[in-house]
Chains A and B, each alone.
Chain A
């Protein structure tokens, strides 16, 4: 067998030079397994060959913390009472994983408690708001205001799932980049990440263009050519952060958007890691 063949990928040395920090790692995104971790760990292992091939330095995933982001009552109860379960994956890969907890804006008191437990006391670096299904709420809802204020106090990163779906929203809790721009205008000092750049990125980029405190994240849609070139042209490379969406999507789909783009190497370095590192204002071991 000859695994030295890796068409399409730059050399390991080139990839290491980018210092890749993945802002959107989605192992067992919906449910980590009834014991709180087995499905998550299996999915991380599934992603590891690609993670190694891509020479990633760090990956940020979105742990559930028992505030109603799944429909499994037993699981929710388990992770509310056992923080060690939530930490299991991070303890296994302490130098690799970062976490942004999944918040539930439908339950503000529980979300505020979770912010204290996981952001104030560590080790999580930010929060993730879902774009549909259990625990999701459109980001223009007033419930977001006290949460954003507290996240800002704690200097956390906010990742908001967004999509512009042709034909309209497919879930009542979904958010669009335009809605995120409305929210971001109310909190000009807080940075927001517009996950998936809205999916239909031509509209998504335009929707956040005049919101300097919004960055776009690159994963979650086919490797459609021209995306990064437009994003760099209209937003600037400093407003783009790389996400892999592994393992449900792929290194090929997501990394190629950046490495194959007709932009400078300096811009690729910003997108692939530097911008996300700057956003994380909390100390990382």
Chain B
């Protein structure tokens, strides 16, 4: 029987293969062939967004789309992890779903507001062999200066897991009026990260700007994804602002259209081939795989 590590190895191999598959049209756009370019999406979610159906919210449809786009690997959290409280079951469903698709790498949910969250973390990083966990502090109702967050980061790091923090899931201006979630306040993060040597943290869906971003850029090794970095030259600017290796490709699909982030990385023509490859996959590979597993 294969363990998660075997599956991951297969996933890497499958990624190279899927990049070579011909694009399927099915009445949809035929994207440019990305043969030879490895793409790792560090920010995907499976299952149903709580507020509306999305075109790619069935896993098979998402994987089919990703194969057509040449995306070799996707780190998949679960939309269920935002509001469900039976988190152990959420993580089991996610793990099971990912076993059917070698390019999907499950990223578990942990909610430190729930009793027994330490066991959820243990399950994710142990039995379920997940390489990381994803947090939603705003939806789960805690701040990053809460001692439980530092404890979680410490335990995850000791277990070899990275931690993704979703700074937001949706623009506050378009959220459901009865469930408005402000973006996560990242100001406490630099101090917490400093207290946990070896911690690997990635912030998702963040619009980098202002003094908090400057502190995160200078005082930490925290990484960022590209999902909501907008402006035609926004991603090259972020790459230039941060030390090498800290911008990882992420789409926030299926809530956002995956092509949006794919195009934004290259549209300005400001990143050379090496930098493009770093953002699309190499940074993710080196930061979270080679060092982490």
- Contact surface of A with B, Cβ cutoff 8 Å: 1-3, 5-11, 14, 46-47, 49-50, 53-54, 163, 165-167, 199-200, 202, 221-226, 229, 246-253, 255-257, 259-260, 262, 264-265
Q: Would you give the shortest CB distance from A19 to chain B, in whole angstroms?
A: 16
B177 touches A (CB below 8 Å)? yes
Interface size in chain B (residues, C-beta < 8 A): 54
B230: A residues at CB distance < 8 A: 222, 248-250, 253
Select A46's contact among B173, B176, B233, B255, beta carbons within 8 Å: B233
Beyond the given A5-B32, A199-B173, please list 5 additional residue pairs across the A-B interface where CB-CB is below 8 A.
Answer: A8-B31, A223-B257, A256-B259, A260-B257, A260-B259
Give Cα A46 to B237, complex, Å: 13
Q: Which residue of B lies closest to A49 (CB)?
A: B269
Residue of A nearest to B23 (CB): A10
Across-interface contacts of A251 in B (CB, < 8 A)? 232, 263-264, 267
Tell me, yes or no, whether B273 is within 8 Å of chain A by CB: yes
Verify A262–B27 contact, CB threshold 8 A: yes
Q: Which residues of B contact A (CB under 8 A)?
A: 27-32, 34, 36-37, 39, 52-56, 69-70, 170-177, 180, 228, 230-234, 253-270, 272-273, 276, 280
Q: Pick the contact of A222 from B29, B171, B265, B280 — CB < 8 Å?
A: B171
B39 touches A7 (CB 8 A): yes
Give the residue of B172, B257, B262 whose beta carbon is less than 8 angstroms from that of A225.
B257
Set of chain B residues within 8 Å of A199, measured between Cβ atoms: 173-174
Name the residue on A nearest B251 (C-beta). A223
CB contacts (< 8 Å) of A14 on chain B: these are 29-30
**Do residues B55 and A247 form an inter-chain contact, with CB atoms below 8 A?**
no
Q: List 23 A-B contacts (CB under 8 A).
A: A5-B32, A5-B276, A7-B37, A8-B258, A8-B262, A10-B29, A11-B32, A47-B232, A50-B232, A50-B267, A50-B268, A166-B172, A224-B255, A225-B54, A225-B254, A225-B255, A226-B52, A226-B54, A246-B232, A247-B232, A252-B259, A252-B262, A252-B267
Chain B, interface SS category: loop
Interface on chain A toward B: helix, strand, loop, or mixed SS? loop
B31 touches A2 (CB 8 A): no
Q: Which residues does chain B contribute within 8 Å of A264, judged by CB atoms?
A: 27
Q: What is the minimal beta-carbon distance from A51 to any residue of chain B, in angstroms?
A: 9
- Residues of chain B contacted by A5 (CB below 8 angstroms): 32, 34, 36-37, 266, 273, 276
